[in-house]
Structure 1
């Protein structure tokens, strides 16, 4: 995840994080991240983030394809954004339920799916936050979302996502390491749109402990690291 979330400085208030994220990705954040997740012209930092995010997507898709049963799976893509993960998984035949807190992101994802898929009947998009998700899925995936929430909220969300998963939970998060913490601190000295605000890092051992407490064990790990994007990916399966 990018440690410079570029949330406007005016949003750095006591307002709860979920409201901040929802408002941001339905306003200026939507245009910024739609460009990053697209294929148009972007600046060097945005291009680096785009490449890092795509590496994370490619890793998860490769994991699922390697198991050889992707077409038989039901998958919840929690925090789907513009459909960067949902669409390639749907192309492989998986049954996808994809949600995002941002209505604009979901609309963009639906439009991209209609263009990319010959038959989009196996992917459903909905405007929902993580806490309101219901149902049961073979695999639940939540990528590049935990960066928006502090540890106590992240724990609650992971617990809820675990309750929806019949077999597997895949998460990515910005790892809390000394190096990345220093980089974030340095970023706080820069004024204007480059200023970091609410970009939460999480200790890997804490995330693993939460997963284990909810009946999961780690099966695969990976790390995406570019100049401006850092993401630890964990695949956990039910014991």
Structure 2
């Protein structure tokens, strides 16, 4: 399967059955134990990003590109805290849900701004570029290209999260336990941390702060890199 096929599968998935599934996970309604575990893990990652950004006391002064924003779990709280946020996702359904959530909070406000767009099509310049839990949809070579493109959009900082490739997680993925309900999900790619660090360094960034989120069914490594 090539990268174009992967992107089509991801787009179709998050506009159909995937949207229904992840809308529940990213919401606050009743879910099963596995979905609740993933919800809690993802929220921990979002909270860690907010803490990283707010600890610098610059949020009201910066622009943030939330690449792969989903339903706005990060974009909306960042906008509430004063950052100027551009949020994009390949899924029209996800973006539509994000817009609805933002409308309920902010009314007819242009912050955050939502757009249906894949990562490769993003343009502009932003102080900080954030891309959470998206690399799992990209194989190694495509991940390198995508990170390079995201780095070109960032004036100062980039924050990425990814499913780390370790022996334990590779085994879990192989036996079908890494993502329950595999028949309903997209392909899942794990990445070695040293490779992600290398990609960032090749694009002029130095990795600084990092975090790890691990629950029963959710594993995510978070890296913050700043331009040299």
Shorter-chain TM-score bucket reads over 0.9
1:199-218 mapped onto 2 (5 Å cutoff): 199-218=188-207
Query: SS at the partner of 2:133?
Result: coil
2:215 is equivalent to residue 226 of structure 1? yes
Report the counterpart of residue 114 of structure 2 in structure 1.
125
Report the counterpart of residue 10 of structure 2 in structure 1.
21
For structure 2, the residue ranges without an aligned partner over 5 or more in a row are none
Query: SS at the partner of 2:72?
Result: coil
For structure 1, the residue ranges without an aligned partner over 5 or more in a row are 1-12
Q: Please report the TM-score for the alignment, with normalisation by the length of structure 1.
A: 0.91
Tell me the distance in 2 between the aligned counterparts of 1:233 and 1:200.
Answer: 16
Q: Please report the TM-score for the alignment, with normalisation by the length of structure 2.
A: 0.95
Match of 2:24 among 31, 35, 45: 35
Query: SS at the partner of 2:200?
Result: helix
2:53 is equivalent to residue 54 of structure 1? no
Q: State the Cα distance separating 1:119 from its structure 2 match.
A: 6.6
Tell me the distance in 1 between the aligned counterparts of 2:214 and 2:96.
Answer: 29
Q: Which has the higher contact order (CA 8 A, sep 6+)?
A: 1
Report the counterpart of residue 138 of structure 1 in structure 2.
127
**1:217·1:236 contact (CA, 8 Å) conserved in 2?**
yes
- The total of aligned residue pairs comes to 226
Q: Which is further off, 115-124 or 38-47?
A: 115-124
Report the counterpart of residue 101 of structure 2 in structure 1.
112
